[in-house]
Amino acid sequence: MDHTIANVRPATDIGETRQELIHARHLPGGIYSSPAIYEEELQRYFYRDWLYMGRVEQFANPGDYEARRVLGRPIIITRDKDGVLGAFYNMCRHRGVEVAEGKGNARVFKCPYHGWTYDLSGKLVGAAYMKDSDGFDPKTCRLPRINLEVWRGNIFISFAAEPPPFAESMAEFEKDFAQLATEKCRLADVTRLELNCNWKFMHENLMDFYHVGVLHVKSFGARFSWTTDNVRLKDNGGITIRYDAAPSTPGGEALFGKAPWLDAQPNSFACTGFMPPNMTLFGRIDCVKIMVGWPIGPDKCEVFIYMLFPEPFFADPEFDRKLKVYKDYQAIIYEEDRSMIESMQRAMALPVYEPGRMSVMEKPIHHFLNGYLDRMFGPRG
Ligand code: FES
Ligand SMILES: [Fe+2]
């Protein structure tokens, strides 16, 4: 079945996911494998919403920049000479070549093709042999700007001409996760994974606490406790969950101690947040992890995992050794999850696949998917 927006039959194809959780069923395979649905998701979610791009300390000094391709679009994030953060299309105004590569510190970006040169605020500052081009005004030429905002040390961009108001988009996270004080944390590590699955599976898996006691029973499952009453449902398919878990180390110990601002909380303090479309946050007593899923096709995605620790932890003389413990442990868990969601993806293209019934333990996924259906197919009747 190749679903497009036009040929999804709401009543039969997605109607059972629309039901109340106790009656609900998962979504058909086409929603996770159709190129047409994928294109529509880019338009309705990814080219519109605020998207997590990393941390301000990755651009600590004037001249710092990073070029990336996001959803196939070449972009640059910079801190200009006045210290202002900006995001631009990495696209020369002459013929469109990418003017910057990789990351580093630069005074200008010089296009490798014909040498047009831009400063870090995107202004064209040099274009040889253009004086005789009648009416050409370099001042009207700049790298096209992309919206950029910062929330508590975290950088977000939006490709939309008129993005949703940023403060409104962040309001629930501000309410629920301000206490994690990510502005007083610093990036310890970025891990990038490529997964052979639809981008939605990555976030569904992270909010799927149903599997924790089974798949992860040998890793962290035994130190995990929650009930469906812990789940708070937000507009738009967003989720917040408060629960009990241990720090993400093999023995469940906080190797650096507690974040000073969470001192009153027990060691088992744990929270998770999902902000549509593609950001999941995990808070622990000692660490914040932000996981961002980027679609690269209907059945492929890449994930960036940003591991943040409170600033004071970085002074620990054993910082590198301890960080490695966190990273190695995280890698074990991701591999456990990876094999499940890649296996699930293989089923999505099979004509014999029929979506199964949901458990009440899947309350977060049910909410996320209904927010998704509202956005993709219009609100419930
Ligand atoms: S494409 Fe950049 S200078 Fe020609
Ligand atoms: Fe998992």
pLDDT of residue 222: 85
Query: How far, in Å, is the centroid of ligand 1 from the Cα of 118?
Result: 11
pLDDT tens sequence across 258-274: 999 999 999 999 999 99
pLDDT band at 380 (very low <50, low <70, confident <90, very high): confident
Residues with beta carbon inside 6 Å of ligand 1? 92, 94-95, 97, 111, 113-116
Residue 113 pLDDT more than 80?
yes
User: Average of pLDDT values for 283-306?
Assistant: 97
Residue 3 pLDDT more than 80?
no
Residue 4 pLDDT more than 90?
no
Residue percentage of the chain with pLDDT more than 70:
97
pLDDT tens sequence across 75-99: 999 999 999 999 999 999 999 999 9
What residues contact residue 133 under an 8 Å CB cut-off, 6+ apart? none
pLDDT of residue 341: 97
Residue 358 pLDDT more than 60?
yes
Query: How far, in Å, is the centroid of ligand 2 from the Cα of 133?
Result: 59
pLDDT tens sequence across 226-251: 999 999 999 999 999 999 999 999 99
> Whose C-alpha lies nearest to ligand 1, atom 4?
114
pLDDT tens sequence across 116-127: 999 999 999 999
Give the whole-angstrom CA distance, residue 225 versus residue 203: 20
Give the ligand whose atoms come closest to the C-alpha of residue 92.
1
Residue 1 pLDDT more than 50?
no
User: Average of pLDDT values for 317-336?
Assistant: 96
- Mutation test of ligand 1: which of 76, 88, 91, 92 has the most ligand atoms closer than 8 Å to its C-beta? 92
pLDDT band at 46 (very low <50, low <70, confident <90, very high): very high
pLDDT of residue 354: 94
Tell me, yes or no, if the pTM score tops 0.75. yes
pLDDT band at 13 (very low <50, low <70, confident <90, very high): confident
111 Cα nearest atom in ligand 1: 2
SS3 of the chain: the string is: CCCCCCCCCHHHHHHHHHCCHHHCECCCCHHHHCHHHHHHHHHHHHCCCCEEEEEHHHHCCCCEEEEEEECCEEEEEEECCCCCEEEEECCCCCCCCCCCCCEEECCEEECCCCCCEEECCCEEEECCCCCCCCCCCHHHCECCEEEEEEECCEEEEECCCCCCCHHHHHHHHHHHHHHHCHHHEEEEEEEEEEECCCHHHHHHHHHCHHHHHHHCCCCCHHHCECCHHHEEECHHHCEEEEEECCCCCCCCCCCCCCCHHHCCCCCCEEEEEEECCCEEEEEECCCEEEEEEEECCCCCEEEEEEEEEEHHHHHCCCHHHHHHHHHHHHHHHHHHHHHHHHHHHHHHCCCCCCCCECCHHHHHHHHHHHHHHHHHHCCCC
pLDDT of residue 12: 66
- List the domains of the chain with CATH numbers: 10-38+171-377 (3.90.380.10), 51-158 (2.102.10.10)
Give the ligand whose atoms come closest to the C-alpha of residue 216.
2
pLDDT tens sequence across 147-176: 999 999 999 999 999 999 999 999 999 999
pLDDT tens sequence across 15-27: 999 999 999 999 9
Residue in 2, 32, 18, 20 with CA at minimum distance from that of residue 348: 32
User: Average of pLDDT values for 324-335?
Assistant: 96
114 Cα nearest atom in ligand 1: 3
For 176, the token pair is 């629920």
> Whose C-alpha lies nearest to ligand 1, atom 1?
95
User: Average of pLDDT values for 211-230?
Assistant: 90
For 66, the token pair is 């990073």
